[in-house]
Amino acid sequence: MIQARRIRIEKPGDYDVLRLEAFAIGAPRPNQVLIEVAAAGVNYADGIIRMGLYESAKKLHGYPITPGFEVSGRVLEVGAAVRRFKAGDEVVALTLFDGYSSHLLLEHDRVFARPASLSFDQAAAVPTVFLTAWFMVHELAHARAGERWLVHSAAGGVGGALAQLGRLAGCEVTGVVGHADKAGAARAAGCTHVIDKAGEDLWRRAEAIAPGGFDAIFDANGVSTLGQSYRHLAPTGRLCVFGFASMLPRGRGVPQWPRLAWDWLRTPRFNPLDMTRRNRSVIACNLSFLSAQGPRLIRGMEWLLPRFASGELAPPPVTAYALGDAARAQAAIESGRTVGKLVLHP
């Protein structure tokens, strides 16, 4: 038994429900790997779990819950049937919750060798956001060189990953950011054009950049931009929907229920007759509900990790917090002012 530490949420609520607790962790089962975590990725979704609004956390796990979808670290011990790893190997891993922890037991097929080009912090910052972006770009939207894309929140985790995958696929990416000081991060991620929606008219500028519309638009804002995103698709354009952040409080910790209900009512419902007439598609995904599709996600990791090793893809900028400061990290990402990714150090 190892004495370990993790963040635990007994019941949904404000930042103070993120409590650091000690727990004991046992030996790996035959197909498992015991990992000593070096860094755990923080995602915007983790705060939605804290608020009690994340459907897969309720349906696939329930509360109490430890959030976290990814870690990097060292293998301490492997189960009797595991041949891919041995004690001492440095790894990066996908978790379905539980990542905010000092130690983890994971099925070995969710664990991958850490590319030498990535530090532990960088390795923990990659899986969720790049896998989400890879899934949308290569499994749903099918990137084609020469396309024009618009990526919302292009300085953030998934947005930055989308910009990089777009550039790699030969697409011209326009990134939208919520503050002027994020423009540099969006450009570094691969955006040819950057629109600061706080300082300029988002859609007027978008129309100047792509008068015929965009071939793909990636939108995790929901109600605040979704309708206009659909209207700015070119014929055969695809709108990829993967989140609804604009319904949620900006750094206030708990949902404002009347506004949430109003925004839910106002969220566009797309009309198949209009979609057909205009040759526009709306596609969507939620990766946490795809955990049962392990082989597909493993294929994504096997596509991504060599490209980090070769330098075709670069890790996002990373800001680290102590595990016990998980509340500060979540407040930061929910403020809407972070760039790149945040990680926790156990």
Among 45, 106, 191, 233, contact with ligand NAP (rule: CB under 6 A): 45
- For residues 12 and 159, which CB has a smaller minimum distance to ligand NAP in the complex? 159
* Least Å from the CB of residue 248 to ligand NAP: 5
The reply on whether position 124 binds ligand NAP by CB under 6 A is no
- Which distant-in-sequence residues (6+ apart) come within 8 Å of 202 by Cβ? 176, 195, 225, 228
Quote the CA–CA distance of 315 and 304 in Å, as a whole number: 11
- For residues 104 and 194, which CB has a smaller minimum distance to ligand NAP in the complex? 194
Quote the CA–CA distance of 157 and 127 in Å, as a whole number: 10
* Least Å from the CB of residue 187 to ligand NAP: 13
* Least Å from the CB of residue 32 to ligand NAP: 25
Quote the CA–CA distance of 269 and 291 in Å, as a whole number: 27
Structure tokens at 288: 């946490």
Strand extents, DSSP E, 59-179:
70-78, 90-94, 103-107, 111-113, 148-151, 172-177
Fill in the per-residue mask, 2 to 31: x = in contact with ligand NAP (CB under 6 A), - = not in contact.
------------------------------
Stretch that binds ligand NAP, among 90-98, 157-165, 204-212, 268-276 (CB under 6 A): 157-165
**Which amino acid is it at 282?**
V
37: enclosing H helix or E strand:
strand 32-42
The reply on whether position 132 binds ligand NAP by CB under 6 A is yes
Quote the CA–CA distance of 330 and 7 in Å, as a whole number: 12
* 8 within 8 A of 327, measured Cβ to Cβ: no
The reply on whether position 157 binds ligand NAP by CB under 6 A is yes
The reply on whether position 242 binds ligand NAP by CB under 6 A is yes
Size of interface with ligand NAP, in residues (CB under 6 A): 31
Half-sphere exposure of 334 (CA within 13 A, CB side): 24
**Which amino acid is it at 196?**
D
Indicate the angle between helix axes 157-168 and 127-134, nearest 10 degrees. Answer: 50
The reply on whether position 43 binds ligand NAP by CB under 6 A is yes
The neighbouring-strand residues paired with 101 are 6
Q: Which of residues 280-309 bind ligand NAP (CB under 6 A)?
A: 285-287
* Least Å from the CB of residue 132 to ligand NAP: 4
The reply on whether position 37 binds ligand NAP by CB under 6 A is no
The neighbouring-strand residues paired with 40 are 71, 344
Quote the CA–CA distance of 15 and 46 in Å, as a whole number: 11
Structure tokens at 21: 């607790």
- For residues 192 and 286, which CB has a smaller minimum distance to ligand NAP in the complex? 286
Among 156, 213, 300, 346, contact with ligand NAP (rule: CB under 6 A): 156
- For residues 2 and 188, which CB has a smaller minimum distance to ligand NAP in the complex? 188
Stretch that binds ligand NAP, among 114-122, 266-274, 306-314, 331-339 (CB under 6 A): 331-339
* Least Å from the CB of residue 116 to ligand NAP: 25
The reply on whether position 245 binds ligand NAP by CB under 6 A is yes
* Least Å from the CB of residue 292 to ligand NAP: 14
Q: β-pairing, 103-107 with 32-42?
A: antiparallel
Quote the CA–CA distance of 204 and 247 in Å, as a whole number: 24
List contacts with ligand NAP (CB under 6 A): 43-45, 128-129, 132, 152-153, 155-159, 177-178, 182, 220-221, 242-243, 245-246, 248, 250, 285-287, 333-334, 336, 338
